[in-house]
């Protein structure tokens, strides 16, 4: 089986149910421009067809012509992945050409610098269609994080943002420092979450990857999570607790290394949407109070109680029983006596 991180450029085009996968194609930014242009000009089909098997590129034809041929056969494109192509900042100047059907965009490991991140954030500040943006493995420094924070304050459409394996909080030479960094960029993003009530998932720190070749990822980065800074943890906890946050999942590093890890219990108790801290390690599972609030939040038990919908109550109790989540069953029974008495 071919390694999914093989950069040999086999030029396999994958389209499945409106998902256009153009990763590892050795694309030039002009290729992407032509593809975006043609996709934007194509009217969406009157009837969306059911997903078909993945289609492969006819190598005798141009990439963009094959994209249009496949999309006209299958359905309108809702996800585009152009990741792991050395495209640079120039590709971000073509985002306005994307068709309105696209809601999911992956620009991971494209060699984006601060200017490119700025272009993306400017585009998203007014965009009303993109709900998921993935851009891990680029060169987002603290200046880029400023653009992201300003975008989060204005955007009310984006639901998922993935920016791990970037250089937020990393020295200008691209190397990890021995001591905790200023984390200015991460703190700016945390502050921006106070003004955003629609983002549901954010991933800033994830495992460092070394199996992709330059220029996609900095080879100096190791496989372990960066050192967790308690100041960053506190900033994100405060931002979530003191705002009307919709965050359900947050990944800001190895939170179990936070000296104040126990305070995440309070955050989960105060934030009824939050149920994932980006780790499923033994330390998390051993914390009964934390796991209790995670389960309650994951099944939206407090929302069910607040809205008083009998059907939702019965459905949630059934789900909790099915998965053996006794804490949720107890919470619902104790706080919905009216339903039980009926």
Q: What distance in Å separates the CA atoms of residue 102 and residue 131, rounded to the nearest whole number?
A: 9
pTM for the whole thing?
A: 0.83
Average pLDDT over residues 36-48: 63
- CA dist., res. 305 & res. 107, Å (int): 40
What digits encode the pLDDT tens for the residues 175-234? 443 332 347 889 999 999 999 999 999 998 864 444 343 333 344 444 445 578 899 999
Contact 226, 205 (CB under 8 A): yes
Query: Has residue 74 got a pLDDT over 60?
Result: no
Residue 44's nearest CA partner among 66, 72, 21, 80 is: 72
Six-digit token string for 261: 């890890």
- 255-313 pLDDT tens trace: 888 999 999 999 999 999 999 998 888 889 899 999 999 999 999 999 999 988 888 99
C-alpha 335/C-alpha 322 separation (Å) is: 20
């Amino acid at each position: 089986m071919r390694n999914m991180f093989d950069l040999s450029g086999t030029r396999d085009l994958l389209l499945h149910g409106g998902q256009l996968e153009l990763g590892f194609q050795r694309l030039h930014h002009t290729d992407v421009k032509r593809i975006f242009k043609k996709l934007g000009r194509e009217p969406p089909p009157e009837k969306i067809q059911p997903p078909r098997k993945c289609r492969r590129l006819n190598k005798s034809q141009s990439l963009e012509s094959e994209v249009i041929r496949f999309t006209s056969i299958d359905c309108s494109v809702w996800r585009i992945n152009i990741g792991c192509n050395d495209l640079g900042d120039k590709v971000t100047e073509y985002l306005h050409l994307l068709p309105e059907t696209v809601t999911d965009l992956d620009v991971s490991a494209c060699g984006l610098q601060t200017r490119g991140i700025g272009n993306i954030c400017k585009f998203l500040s007014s965009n009303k269609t993109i709900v998921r943006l993935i851009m891990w493995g680029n060169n987002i420094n603290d200046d880029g994080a400023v653009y992201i924070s300003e975008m989060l304050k204005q955007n009310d459409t984006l639901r998922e943002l993935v920016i791990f394996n970037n250089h937020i909080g990393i020295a200008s030479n691209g190397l990890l420092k021995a001591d905790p960094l200023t984390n200015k960029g991460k703190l700016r993003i945390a502050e921006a979450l106070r003004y955003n009530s629609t983002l549901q998932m954010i991933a800033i720190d994830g495992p460092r990857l070394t199996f992709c070749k330059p220029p996609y990822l900095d080879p100096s980065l190791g496989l372990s999570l960066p050192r967790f800074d308690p100041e960053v943890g506190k900033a994100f906890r405060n931002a979530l607790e003191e705002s009307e946050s919709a965050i359900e999942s947050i990944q800001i590093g190895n939170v179990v290394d936070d000296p104040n890890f126990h305070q995440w219990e309070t955050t989960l108790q105060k934030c009824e949407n939050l149920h994932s801290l980006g780790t499923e390690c033994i330390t998390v599972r051993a914390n009964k109070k934390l796991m209790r609030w995670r389960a309650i939040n994951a099944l939206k038990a407090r929302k069910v109680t607040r809205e008083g919908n009998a059907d939702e109550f019965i459905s949630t109790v059934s789900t909790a029983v099915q998965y053996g989540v006794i804490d949720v069953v107890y919470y619902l029974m104790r706080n919905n006596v009216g339903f039980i008495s009926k």
